[in-house]
Amino acid sequence: MANDTFAALAHPIRREIVERLSGGPASVGALTRDFGVSKPTISRHLKMLEEAGLVSRVIDGRKHRLALRPDTLAETSGWIDRQRTRWEALFDAVGDYLEEHSDEG
C-alpha cells in the first residue's frame, strides 16, 4: 500500500494533480491543462494515480471526472504517523543514552 502511494507521489506532475484535486473533483481537461506535456504522458500519470488508489475516475459519455480517494491518503498518513512515532522513540532513546554518558568522555 504505502509503496504504491509513494511511487505514485514521487513525480511532481502527479503531486500537482493530487493538490489540484484537493479542491474537489475535476474533469481531466481542466485538471491537467497547463502542464506542458503530451496527452499520453498525462494518461500515464493518471493511470499510475488510479492504480495506486489515490484517484478515482467517473466516465459520463466522453467526459472523465477525477476525484481524490481520501481513504488511501488516510492509510498513507497513518503509516507515516506510525513511522514518525517509532523514529521519535528511537531518537529519544539515543538522546537519553548520550545524555547519560556525556560525562564519561
pTM for this prediction: 0.76
31: closest CA among 65, 62, 72?
Answer: 65
Query: Would you state the pLDDT for residue 2?
Result: 58
Mean pLDDT of 5-30: 94
Q: Give me the chain's average pLDDT, please.
A: 90
Q: Are 78 and 71 in contact (CB under 8 A)?
A: no
